[in-house]
Every structure is written in C-alpha cells, then in structure tokens.
Structure 1
Amino acid sequence: MAGNGALSGAVIAVAGAGGPAGRAALLRLAEAGATVVGADNDPERLAEAVDAARYASGGATVTGEPVDLLDLQSARDWADHIEKDFGRVDGLVHLVGGWRGSETFVKTSLDDWDFLELLLIRTVQHTSLAFYEALQRSDRGRYVLISAAGASKPTAGNASYAAAKAAAEAWTLALADAFRKAGGAEGPTSAAAILVVKALVHDAMRAERPNAKFAGFTDVKDLADAVVGVWDKPAAEVNGNRLWLTEKP
C-alpha cells in the first residue's frame, strides 16, 4: 500500500509521534502513501512507534527524530532537515498533548497552567513558526492541530487545560489567516485546520477499563483517518475551520 495511496509523494511531519495517537497517525499516513517523519521528546518511545508503523505499513518510509519542541531553534532545525532530506514538507500534524485538572475551580494550581502553557501552547507556536514557510511552498501544505471540545465550553476543574487549548486554537487560526492572505485572490494553497475531540481512547485504555463506555470519545484510529481526510479537501475548505469529531458542546 505504501506509495500508492491518496498521499503518495507527500512528506508529513508528526509532532508527538510516540503516544497512542501518534502511533496511529504514523501508520495511517504511511498507509496513505506519505513519507512520514515523527518527532517526540522520548527517543525510546519514538523508535518503537516508528518501527511499528514501518512494519505494519509494509515498508513505507517512516523515520523519527528526537526534537525538543520547547526550543524554537530545534523546531526550525527539524523543519529544515526534513525539507533538505526529502525535498518538501506537505504537512505538520501536531499531536503533543497532556492534561492536568483539579476538583474545583478554586483548587486550581497555577503550576498546572505553567506546565500546560509549555506543552499545549508553546509547542504549537514553535512548530507553526518553524514549518510555515515550508508548508506555504507546498501545493498541498496542511497544519493540523488536535484540540478538545472543552476549549469551547470550559468546566470549573479544567480551567488551565481549556484555556491552554483555546489559546492553541487561536494561534492556529492566526496561522490560517496567514495562509489565507498569502493565497491572495486565488485563495490559499495551504491550510491550518483544527480537529476537535472530546477525548481520545485507544485499545490499552479499553483493556484497563473493560466496563467503561468512553461516551463521546474518539478512537485514535478514527482520529488518524480524520487527519488523512484533511488532505482530501481543498485548502480553502478546511483553512481556519474547526472540524468536529464529537458533538459540539
């Protein structure tokens, strides 16, 4: 299947590739024919994810590189390496995630905000700034952010998480506006889109909690399908849009 799918010839970077969602995305993008370059701050976890995707996809080109996405220059170097090695960059899928919350609003720890601001906002800032020019040079560039429904309807115990996700969305929408302006009267050729989930679930979670319903959760495999689907539509159709994979709050 590798090399013959809808994304044949595309080169796509995946940030946060070592987690369950990253593993699913690496495999699905490879199955769609893309050359996939993953990054994670855990080299061992990244290597396992890359090997699994390469094997399961039938020998597709899947590589990995440990990158500190909290450092802008490291993110820029990563983008430059990809374009130099493969000649182009057609996408950045941002799967860096994490959660911290509290029982009530007044019990919110601002240490949680400090942690989430780095993980959920700063990494988005760095990847978008690092990859913008390469994505703009592509004829099908896509920046894909995974966000949470809680950003649109925060709950009392999730103030830090929801605020960080909302900020990441706002930053991504600003990137979308940059793509729109760069496209001029003919419209954008590259796009920034937001995939919104309630939460994610994967096989290991189901095995740990066999009686849980995970109502409204999105399976990481379905998320990976949706990621690939962002390339199925014209840039103008997805640019600056929230694409909901769960019920709107």
Structure 2
Amino acid sequence: MTDIGRAERGGAAGPRDVAGRTVLIAGATSASGAAAVRVLLDAGAEPIAVGRDAGKLAPLATLGARVEACDLASAAEIGALAARLRADDVRVDGVLHLVGGWRGGGGLAGQTDTDYRFLETGLTALRHVTRAFDADLRAAASARLAIVSSTAVARPLAGGANYATVKAAEEAWARAVAQGFAKAARDAGDPLRAASVIFRVKALAGLEDRLAEAYAGLWERDAAEINDTVVEL
C-alpha cells in the first residue's frame, strides 16, 4: 500500500512503527509463517503470505492476510507476483524469509546431492525475492529484510554440512543486500532507511512467536543500528 493509502486508513506509519507496513512473508505455510501473520496483524501491519500450496495458505487468508500462491524457487513466478502487487498499487516495506528445511545426518558421506538440492531451494528463493523487491525496499520510508539462519553456520558439523553450507550462503546474500542498502543511501546522500538482518536459531520449533515478535520489533530501531547484524534467538 502506498503512503497515500496509509493516510486514508489513519495516517502514515512512523519510522519506528511496524503498523501500516506491508510485509511479504516468503514461505508462510509453516508454523513460523502463521505466527508471523498473527503478530503482524496484531501490530497493525499488512502481511502478504506467500507459498506454493494454495490450500495451506487458506487459513492465513482467514486470519486476514493477503495470500499469494507462488513457487518461490521460480524467478518467473516471483517476477509475476511483483508485477501483480505493483498493479494493485502495493509496495513492499518488509520481507521475512522463512523458506527452508532440514535434511542431514550420516556424517560427511551422508551429505547427498539430493538433500543439498532440496536445501538449496531456500537460497534460490531468497535470491529471487530480494532481487524482485529490492527497488521497493530501497524506496520505502522504512524497510526491513530478515532471514532465519542457524547456529550451525558458526559451528558446522559433518552430519549437517549441506545444511550449514546453504545457511552460510544465505547469510552472505543477506549481508550483500545490507551493503546494497547502505551504498544506495550513501550514494543518494540520504539517511539509511532499510536494514537487512540475520536471525540465528539452534532450532526454530517453539520459537515461532519469538521470531515473529523480533522481526516486528526491527522497526523500533534505526536502520543504521541493525543493518548487517546477526541476532541470536
């Protein structure tokens, strides 16, 4: 929603307020996605829940989120989604990237190519989503991107080598996005208004609400304070 649209609904959001922000939740059909939808709606934000399975998205629509069925690993489908939102005069202020999963075990010998390709989908989706909405985030009055990574990046194990490798790559991509935000602001002579943050968890189960609240809380801090940072939950 544009700033004009927000004003019509009761005023534009302030720089330290998630209320009124349009947040795209990539991979929203997980428990973490449902928690993010609930927390963001309660805070007055406008979540867009995105996932491949329209049936699994339906409960999120019932909660009040806009839902979009889309294969996040497909650059063409992400491009079509971005075009659809812009045609509806929707501009994205935030992205919460939840695409991922776990496969591992069996030591180094057990790190199969099949498992690696499955895990790599999370990185592919992150690349597509951030590229498709980069202009929106840079133009927003206050934007926040966050990914969910793992403590395994700091201490990779042989049985989780595939997983740790992909998560490390996702962190590198998120940090590159952070540098892009900073450079764009610096080149334009503007204050930094967009931030890219990495959340690290040992295991996400049981932390879904905490993650959602931590993401919504990113708007309470200046972008310059949190851009290119790692937060352990």
Q: TM-score, normalised by structure 2?
A: 0.88
CA–CA distance in 1 between the matches of 2:216 and 2:203?
Answer: 19
Q: Match for 2:116: what amino acid?
A: W
Secondary structure of the 1:191 match is: strand
Match of 2:98 in 1: 95
Q: Match for 2:103: what amino acid?
A: R
CA–CA distance in 1 between the matches of 2:104 and 2:32?
Answer: 21
CA–CA distance in 1 between the matches of 2:92 and 2:10?
Answer: 16
Identity of aligned residues (%): 34
TM superposition shift of 1:186: 4.3
- What CA deviation, in whole Å up to 9, does each residue of 1:105-148 have, x standing for no partner? 2222122112111x221011001101100111101111111111
Give the alignment of 1:4-15 within 5 angstroms.
Answer: 6-15=17-26
Secondary structure of the 2:57 match is: helix
**Change over 3 Å in CA distance of 1:42–1:71 after alignment to 2:** same
Q: Does 1:149 align with 2:137?
A: no
- Asked if the contact 1:83/1:134 (under 8 Å) is kept, the reply is no
Residue in structure 2 matching 1:230, options 195, 214, 218:
218
Q: Match for 1:200: what amino acid?
A: L
Match of 1:175 in 2: 177
Q: Does 1:196 align with 2:200?
A: yes
**Change over 3 Å in CA distance of 1:150–1:161 after alignment to 2:** same
Match of 2:39 in 1: 28
TM superposition shift of 1:83: 3.5
CA–CA distance in 2 between the matches of 1:192 and 1:105?
Answer: 32
Secondary structure of the 1:65 match is: strand
Q: Match for 2:133: what amino acid?
A: F
Which structure has the higher relative contact order (CA within 8 Å, separation 6+)?
2
CA–CA distance in 2 between the matches of 1:38 and 1:156?
Answer: 34
Q: Does 1:67 align with 2:78?
A: no
Q: Does 1:39 align with 2:43?
A: no
TM superposition shift of 1:88: 2.2
Q: TM-score, normalised by structure 1?
A: 0.83
- What CA deviation, in whole Å up to 9, does each residue of 1:198-222 have, x standing for no partner? 11114xxxxxxxxxxxxxxxx2011
Match of 1:128 in 2: 130
Q: Match for 1:191: what amino acid?
A: A
Secondary structure of the 1:193 match is: strand
- Asked if the contact 2:104/2:110 (under 8 Å) is kept, the reply is no
CA–CA distance in 2 between the matches of 1:239 and 1:135?
Answer: 13
Match of 2:3 in 1: none
Q: Match for 1:147: what amino acid?
A: S
Match of 1:116 in 2: 119
Q: Which runs of 4+ in 1 moved over 3 A?
A: 2-6
TM superposition shift of 1:3: 7.9
- Asked if the contact 1:181/1:188 (under 8 Å) is kept, the reply is no
Q: Match for 1:107: what amino acid?
A: G
Secondary structure of the 2:88 match is: helix
- What CA deviation, in whole Å up to 9, does each residue of 1:8-31 have, x standing for no partner? 221111111111000000110111
TM superposition shift of 1:86: 4.4
Unaligned 5+ runs, structure 1: 55-61, 203-218
CA–CA distance in 1 between the matches of 2:104 and 2:154?
Answer: 16
Match of 2:4 in 1: none
Q: Match for 2:171: what amino acid?
A: E
Q: Match for 2:232: what amino acid?
A: W
